[in-house]
Structure formats: structure tokens, C-alpha cells
Structure 1
Amino acid sequence: MSVRRVDGVADGRPVFRDAIGVLTSWDGDGLTVAPRTGAPVRFAAELLVAGKPVPPFPARRTAAPAVDPLDLQRTAARSWPAVEQEQLGEWTLRASSGFTRRANSVQALGDPGLPLPAALERVREWYAARSLPAYVEVVSPGSPPALAAELDRLGAALAPTLVRTAPLGDLARAGRPADVRLARTAGPEWLALYRRVGGDPALEAAATAVLHGGPSVWFARVEGRGGAPLAIGRLAVDGPWACFGAVEVAPAARRRGLATAVMAALAARAAEEGATGAYLQVEAENGGAIALYDGLGFTTSHTYHYARLPQR
């Protein structure tokens, strides 16, 4: 939006000032506009003079940044930060009351500072103390070369996850960004369509913390009648990379291009913040999502695995 407001008086006349950005809130306390750079602009509603929608800043058609699996995994961890974290050498133990494996697994990058059997036993004990299963995130290259063999010896089952990347500029042009509303917080309407939370207060609190964590987080939704969301998505921008996740479409609204519209709107916002590459993580068996991402130009950068340690 482009909004004009009264910003003081000079020589007996009002002084007007414009702000261009995302209108993130308009309530009884006033309006908030998030510009491309700098702090959000907040002012009282009675100071508003005029406003109009403007298109997003054009996303440049540039190649995605070069991918280093280790760096991208660390970037992904910052974009989906666990509620509790503890270092084990170069490994990172993460716990969030069971909300998603990504936020409840040890990121086993580098040297744990212990022999692998002892390190994995420490991992098992750490998660057992929190009444959580012990998951290990195994990345190749990145994790100790002998880790996969040790996990196999212990009988840990591996579940593959694909990390997929795409140039951000092409993605920003893939849908209809004007149909999508953006916000800095996941309100109750957004959460109503996000089907990974419900019932358990501890799980809901952890989900709220994880969803809103990250360097620059945005939530998108397409509204239907009565304000109920038809589609949602989440974005976390970290330097040149934009992480996409939580893309959900209501069953009755599928096959209408809404997932593409959500991702395009989020990509346009990420481009305004200077990002040039998009990435996401998708389970290898999720054929429907993979087909959608294929059509949007995503290709597989690398694969990592979650291994669940057997309980004692």
C-alpha cells in the first residue's frame, strides 16, 4: 500500500508524509505499514489522509545463490528455531514440546566432541528427559561420515526429506500476489487452517514460538467468505535466502491456484527484502507437494534424513 498521513503542522498548514509498504495492521490503535527497509511506520487512524494499493517491487530475474548443504541447513534451522537449544560440541540439540521433527531433533553437523556411540547416548538421554523421541538430522555432506553406519547398527529408521531450491524472481511472477494478505503474526484465522496444532496447551505454545521465530517472518492468507482462510503460507527471510513453509489449502478450495498465489506473494515480499533464492523442505513421499514445486521451478539441492533412535 501507499498511504498518506498528516505528520505535523508548519506555517499553519498540515505536513503530509507518505509511506509505502505492507499494511500489516489497522485497528483501534492505528495503522502499521512495514516498508521495504527500516522500522515499521505506526500512526493513529485519524491522521490517515489517503491510501491505495501498489504492486510489489519488481523481483529481479536472477539465479538462486550457490547452495552449500551445510550453510543451507543452518539457515533453515534459524528460520524454524526450536524453543530450547543446547550444544553438544558442534551438534545442536533442539526441543519444542514435540512440534515438528525439525524443531525436535539434533542437528548433527560437524563434530559432537564425543565418540559417536557416547554422543548418541547423550542425545537419547537429553530427549528422554523431555519425554520426547530422539531424532537425529543426518546431512550428507555435513554429518560425520560414520554417523549413518552407527545409526544403522543401532537399528534407527531413516526418513528422507528433500531440500529444494528455486530462483526467487521467477517464483514471484508465478501467481496473483494482489489476492493475498500478508501479516507479521499468525492470527487465529491463519492458525485455524494450519492443521499441525490443536488441543495441547504446551504444543500450542511451542508452535506459536517456532512459527514466529526467525530473522524476518511473514504469514500469508487468502480469505474466503466471512474471512475464513482458503489458503495460507509462511515465509522466513534470512539474507539471500527465503524459506517457504506451512503452505496449506482448504480442501474445498484446492486446484484453484491458491497455493501458487500464496507462494508468489511471499516471494515478492522476500524479493523486496533483498533475497534472491527460495528454498523449502518436503518429505520425499509427499508426491502432491513435490509436483506443485516442480511446476514452480524448484529442483532438489540435497537430501537429509531424520533417524529415530530406538528406545532403551
Structure 2
Amino acid sequence: MEFTAGGRLEVRLSPADVGKRVSVRQLTGGGPGTEKFTDTVGVLTSWDNGVLLITRRNGEHVGVPEKALVAGKVVPSAPARRRGPAAGFEELARTYARAWQPVESERLGEWTLRAASGFTRRANSALPLGDPGVGLDEALARTRAWYERRGLPAYVQTATGAPGTQEALCAELERRGWRSEVTAEVRTGALAPLADRAADDRVHLGRAVDESWLRRYQRTGTPGPQVLQVLNAGPSVWFATVPGTADEVPAAIGRCVVDGRWAGFMAVEVGPAYRRQGLATAVMAALARRALDEGASAAWLQVESDNDAAIALYAGMGFTVHHRYHHYRAP
């Protein structure tokens, strides 16, 4: 990465560049002979008390002491994605919010407070798309009070790593003691190649979740009414089931929500005894064909960043990372 002008390292940054994507180089090490250069690229989210705070694409926050800074500059936004459907962050965020609809919600300015008796953080967190209509401290206080009245922890869902995402909000939450508990990737891909995969007659599709499907679903214990309400809600919801061979628990399941041009895939699970048989792919392909029939052309899914097996599976299907989202919990 080039930092020099006429052979000299230069710092071409100032606090006025907060909010911009930057590249910085700092000198690290314990003393003479151990020094080394470390480069960091991300959004400059604050410059206070002699420390630059930079938020990387994955949401990691890096503090760079001003006195250790040897070079820095503003850099262009990440290059346009060459694979997968074109999509802005806000379009995708609103799409996957409709796929995990809460039992109750309330507006706070342009934020949405969502609750579903604790079932899935996606339906039990504030979605901060836009201006809350009050200062951030007041918005967070109202958010905490809203969840406290329902006996729930307060979460704010944020995103990083794409144009228009919320690196600055992440930094402000960190500064106020909120901590990220979960980080997940939002991946996108073309729908048709997935639908073109070989059909498997064992995959059954239905419009509503049933008791058999729930026996394989690992995200909840005994499902309450809020679980059924969240799972069955959405613009056009489909459930896939592959029957098991030895008991009443399905071999594999999946859920798909069709919403305009988008098909979202979630709850794809395969029983341990049935893995490495292509059932996850078969479930997604069957759901993809149904989504194509309804006019969808693009696909999205969410996968936690430490789920290496699922990430490898989805990458093999052509899904690439669009951005990452994080659930910040109140202190």
C-alpha cells in the first residue's frame, strides 16, 4: 500500500476525516530492534484524546495512538462487488428484517424496536435504520426502557463492511459500554444457479411450520406461540422437510422467505446421521425453484462468522459476503 510522496511517509489525515474510509500505518514494538509497521484499513470512527479509532469491515475496532502514526490517508470505498446481485445495505437490511418479523414493534423516530418474547435476536433488537428523532443517548435510554418493560435484554442490531453501513454507530455503542455478542455474515448470490441443481424427490415443501419440522429445528427448546408466529410470518414463506428414516425427526429442514426479487434462506439444518449426503443443497435447491416461480432472482442468507462448515457450503454455492451484522447488548 503506497503512503509515500516523493519517498517520504506522510500523514494526510485530520479529525475532519472522521466517518471516511482510511488507511493508516503505525509503528509498533517494544523497543529498538523490535519495531515493525502495522497497517489498518477501515472507517475512521473517532479521533479523541490522541487515539484514532478505526472500524474494520468485520466490525473489529482498532485503536491507533496518534504518536505511533507514521502514515495515513483517506482511501476510496471498497471496490464494487463483482459477483452476486447488486444491492445496497439498507435494501438488504429491510428485506431480512421482514423475514424475521417480531410479535410486537414500536417506532422510535426511524428506528424500529422489535420484540418476540426473546425468540431470536433478529426479532428482539432495535433496528436503527435512520434517525431516531432524539439524541443517541436519549434513544438508547428509551430503547433500554422499552426492553426492560418486557423483561428482555436490550440489543441494537448494527452492520459494518459495505457502503452506508454503521461503523460510526458501532463505535458510539462501544464507547457507551455496549458489547457485541454475535457477529454474522450476510451473503448474497444468484438464485438461478442454485435452482438448477438436481432435484431430490425426498424434499417436501409446505406453507406452514409443523410439529415434525420443529423437531429438527435446533434454535429453540419447547416452542411457544411466539416461535410459530415469527417463523410463519413474512411476505411469502416456505418450509422444506426431508423425512428421516428411523424416527419422527426429519433428516433435514429449511425455511425460505420470498420478498420481491429476493429469496432469503434460513434454518437450514441437517441431522448428524444424515450429513455429507447433499441434503442441505437439496433443500435449498427445492426452495430456490419455488422462489424462482414467484419471480425472485437473487438470494441472501445469514451465517454466524464462526460457523466454518456452513460458510464453506455457502461459498461453494456462489454466495459471497455483502456485509456483516452485529448484535450489541446494553451494559
TM-score with structure 2 setting the length = 0.71
Matching of residues 196-211 of structure 1 within 5 Å? 196-199=219-222, 204-211=224-231
Matched residue SS, 2:121: coil
Query: How far apart in 2 are the matches of 1:167 and 1:204?
Result: 35
How far apart are 1:193 and its partner, in Å? Answer: 0.4
Give the aligned partner of residue 32 of structure 2: none
**1:272-295 superposed Cα distances (whole Å, 9 cap, x missing partner):** 101000100111111111111011
Which of 237, 244, 262 is the matching residue for 1:217? Answer: 237
**Mapping for residues 65-84 of structure 1, pairs under 5 Å:** 65-84=85-104
SS in 2 for 1:93: strand
- After TM superposition, the structure 1 = structure 2 runs for residues 72-221 of structure 1, keeping only pairs within 5 Å, are 72-140=92-160, 141-142=163-164, 146-158=168-180, 159-199=182-222, 204-221=224-241
Aligned counterparts of 2:269 and 2:100: Cα–Cα separation in 1 = 17
Distance 1:172 1:103 in 2: 29
Offset at residue 250 of structure 1 (A): 0.8
State the alpha-carbon separation in 2 of the partners of residues 145 and 298 from structure 1: 23
Aligned to 1:278: 299
**Distance in 2 between the 1:295 and 1:102 partners?**
26
TM-score w.r.t. the length of structure 1 is 0.75
RMSD: 1.6
> How many equivalent residue pairs?
245
Per-residue CA deviations over 1:69-90 (Å, capped at 9, x if unaligned) read 1011101111111111110000
Q: Which amino acid letter does the alignment assign opposite residue 124 of structure 1?
A: R
Q: Secondary structure at the match of 1:196?
A: coil
Deviation at 1:173, TM superposition (A): 2.0
How far does residue 149 in structure 1 lie from its aligned partner after superposition? 2.3
- Unaligned 5+ segments in structure 1 are 1-62
Relative contact order (C-alpha < 8 Å, sep 6+): which is higher? 1
Q: Which runs of 5+ in 2 are unaligned?
A: 1-82
Output aligned runs, 1:29-44, within 5 Å.
none
Partner of 1:46: none
Tell me the equivalent position of 1:290.
311
Write the letter of the residue equivalent to 2:184.
T
Give, as a single letter, the amino acid of the residue that structure 1 aligns with 2:169.
L
8 Å contact from structure 1 (residues 219, 233) kept in 2: yes
Secondary structure at 1:179's aligned position in 2? coil
- Tell me the residue number matched to 1:3: none
1:229-308 alignment to 2 at 5 Å?
A: 229-308=250-329
Tell me: CA distance 1:301–1:143, structure 2 relative to 1, closer, same or farther (3 Å).
closer
